[in-house]
Structure 1
Amino acid sequence: MRRIRFLATACTAFALLTAGLATAAPASAASASGPLTGVGGKCVDVAGSGTANGTVVQLYGCNGTAAQKWTTNEDGTLRALGKCLDVTGQSTVNGTKLQLWECNGSGAQRWVAESDGHLRNPQSGRYLDVPGGSTADGTRLQIWDRNTNPWQTWKLPSDGTTPPPGACTSALAPGQYNTPVSYGGTTYQVLVHIPARSAGTRLPLVLDLHGSQSTGAGQLAYSDMAPTADAKGFAVAAPTGAVPSGSGYIWNVPGVTPSGTRDDVGFLRQVIDTLTERACLDPGRVYATGYSGGGRMTSALGCALADRIAAIAPVAGLRAGRPDPADRGRPLPSSCAPSRPVPVIAFHGEQDATNPYRGGGDSGAWAYSVPVARARWAELNGCGNAPAETQVSTHVRRTAHGGCAGGADVVLYTVSDGGHTWPGSPVDNGNGKVTHEIGANDLMWEFFRGHPLPGAS
């Protein structure tokens, strides 16, 4: 089941009326039945399978019983055990608890699904909510003002035969081409690769950011990401920086690139927003990777766009903020303060002469070492365990931090004979050895798919 999105013009299978004023429809008008799931993967449950008016509606571990089988109806009601999900006393006050009640056509029993998974009760203007985000069995559900907490995100059932409630229509067909993105009064062409998919399916998105003096097209070719996207079923966006450099462009990395250039954090946020709508993408499964300067920009997105980027995978460019002017061997703490723990997987060659593994180099923006950056992300993510190191092949070792807040793991693949290169790339860029003992694309995708945004479906 995918994250829900309802439009009266697009979803004939489940036409929830935004005004919530239609007369009650018979139960036979239902489009789907099944669990209604929320935070922690738990289910909306009728306490004790009771059918009496006023029976508590709560969050509970999913168990497949009739008390957790909700039916979506064209009149906007959600029904279980022959009765309706109801706001107690038709109250419109924050914190009013939910109950089961005989279906009566009142506004207290109408629910409208919004595009990002929220369920609104139009009569109160408030939303289905888990108090404090508790995942304890028996937590009684309530209505509350709309917010961005994951405990207001829900998945409704799909019957599996009609397009699911979250289905959408993409304006971008499968293929590889440029598509316009407007930002700051200028329209930029962004290279995208869209794989084949079933109608209505929302795809994950991977931003693939080029290195310095390159372009989006150059990066897509160098990373060889398109075949992986086709095989695994995700969209790729390979935008281009706006600061000319050599034969290409560089990214405006916050605190590093001279001011007065395009705000690339804002621009890449707009790329995400535009493509999510235009290409029918899943906003809970947006990821970023990049090479060299693009890896540094990817790291910056982890710091600044943690609300939109689910996980990051810098290649030959892991950072955790800019160097501290008082001690350039470590990152300045205030320069990377993500709004939540961000899962990180990174790749770096020990023989990298451009962004040296042990720090230093010609770039003043580099300075501290890759292990220091890895350790800083582990600190930011509250990783409680000492890192575990594994030799995965002759020249590749894996260092992984577990026990991190929200499951935000931090993993680094170090290539002992690797240069300033992309593991598994078919292209020799002349910057040292390209290892083929591992493939960055497959490893990062497996990591990505296990780390959606908190609360995402």
Structure 2
Amino acid sequence: MTSSTVSDRVRSTGIVRLLVSGFFFLVAGSSAFAAGCGTSFPAGRHDLSLDINGQTRSAVYFIPSDYTGKRKVPVVFDFHGSNSNPDGQMNRSHWDEVAEREGFIVMALQGSLPGEFEGTHAWNVPGVTKAEGLDEGAFIRTAVHYATETFCVDPARIYASGYSGGGRMLSQYICDGHGDFAAAGFVMGLRAGYPEQEDGVWRPRKESCHPAKPVSIIAFSGLKDDVNPFAGGGKAYWQYGGEVALKRWADLNGCDPHPRGEKGDTATFSAYYGCKAGTSVISYVITDADHSWPGNRVRFRLAALQGETIREVDATGRMWDFFRNSGGELLAGTPQKTACPADKTTAGKEAGLQGKTCSQQVKSDNSEPVVTDGL
């Protein structure tokens, strides 16, 4: 039996119980609440505890200020890297800022392994982690079901992103046949199965990656990343390079084997299109990037017809644009102008960590991604 309790920084939801036998849920409250819609939640970050087979697992979720519980919204799961935690990851990715502007929920989960520093954690990645850890797949699966039962969520718009070790965990979760996510994004962490060596060449073991369905992939890599090198090598869990992983996902998704690309002095963009179920696999390899989340100093231009610039976004904003276009091939369209009132700021854990954002819903630009010159 598995149960869960919600311990919010702003306590408002009471106690919710999950019975995971067949993923049958008993939820206190009205039938509308049981369906995930009809109940509002306070804006900002909230702590979450899930008891899974007697083990307490932790997470943090973010509710945007315009959430009412009356309209189904997307959810983005944010997976931290090794030696980090959910709050640290959200501070790194700034998914809560994008969520506040665009009106969706973010849930950041915590790995079961202790990190090298107090208060930090890592993931027990199947096939490569040589440590005693908990079943991360069961945790992720339960957290997804918890989100769909507790919040007013569109099950067709559940996405995930992973940084470093969190990217490796997310990769393997999808490889293990869990079809929860419509699209997935990776920063310095895309994998396509366990590494194995054959005739001196490292590659993903095909038997270790069997996705339940085609899934759109967007990946960001740095040529100066010496932790998870794009060229391959590194620690035992890594070995095969980022380009090998991308090609493997293109094969798994049934994409056209010939990618389209654009090479510049600061970054290289490549994309595999013509994939099954309208999915795609795209990659940004940033020349001067090391093993860090590409922040505001790395910008991406979203261009409309005749190359007209719509707006610039950072890596997280680019990832969200990819997600909300269902991950498929982005077609040129008409730009949508938005206004951001100066008094609208993100609701967050601590003052000073969040920037100014817009709280209104922003429609998709349906635009072709282009890398800016000023990366």
Instruction: Please give the TM-score of this superposition, normalised by the length of structure 1.
Output: 0.58
**CA-CA distance at 1:172 after TM superposition:** 3.6
The reply to whether residue 266 of structure 1 matches residue 138 of structure 2 is yes
Q: 1:406 aligns with which of 263, 269, 277?
A: 277
How far apart are the structure 2 equivalents of 1:256 and 1:328?
Answer: 18
Q: 2:298 aligns with which of 435, 440, 455?
A: 435
The reply to whether residue 449 of structure 1 matches residue 324 of structure 2 is yes
1:421: which partner in 2?
292
Question: CA 1:304/1:285 → structure 2, altered by over 3 Å: closer, same or farther?
Answer: farther
Check conservation: 2:69, 2:151, Cα contact below 8 A: no
How far apart are the structure 2 equivalents of 1:384 and 1:422?
Answer: 29
Alignment of 1:10-409 (within 5 A): 168-170=37-39, 172-195=41-64, 196-247=66-117, 248-258=120-130, 260-326=132-198, 329-361=202-234, 363-391=235-263, 394-409=265-280
How far apart are the structure 2 equivalents of 1:452 and 1:396?
Answer: 21
Q: Please give the secondary structure, in 2, of the residue aligned with 1:179.
A: strand
Larger Rg: 1
Aligned residue pairs total: 279
Check conservation: 1:169, 1:280, Cα contact below 8 A: yes
**CA-CA distance at 1:301 after TM superposition:** 2.3
Percent identity between the aligned chains? Answer: 38
Deviation per residue, 1:62-111 (Å, 9 max, x gap):
xxxxxxxxxxxxxxxxxxxxxxxxxxxxxxxxxxxxxxxxxxxxxxxxxx
Unaligned runs of 5+ in 1: 1-162, 426-433
Deviation per residue, 1:366-411 (Å, 9 max, x gap):
00000000000000011025100124x6512210000111112000
Question: CA 1:192/1:328 → structure 2, altered by over 3 Å: closer, same or farther?
Answer: farther
How far apart are the structure 1 equivalents of 2:256 and 2:177?
Answer: 24
C-alpha RMSD of the superposition: 2.1
Ranked by relative contact order (alpha carbons within 8 Å, sequence separation 6 or more), the top structure is 2
Check conservation: 1:383, 1:405, Cα contact below 8 A: yes
Deviation per residue, 1:183-219 (Å, 9 max, x gap):
1222323100111224411221111111101101110
Question: CA 1:239/1:416 → structure 2, altered by over 3 Å: closer, same or farther?
Answer: same
Deviation per residue, 1:285-335 (Å, 9 max, x gap):
111101110111121122125421111101001110110243551100011
Question: CA 1:439/1:394 → structure 2, altered by over 3 Å: closer, same or farther?
Answer: farther
Q: Please give the secondary structure, in 1, of the residue aligned with 2:130.
A: coil
How far apart are the structure 1 equivalents of 2:276 and 2:176?
Answer: 18
Check conservation: 2:96, 2:106, Cα contact below 8 A: yes
**Range with bigger deviation, 333-342 or 179-188:** 179-188
Instruction: Please give the TM-score of this superposition, normalised by the length of structure 2.
Output: 0.70
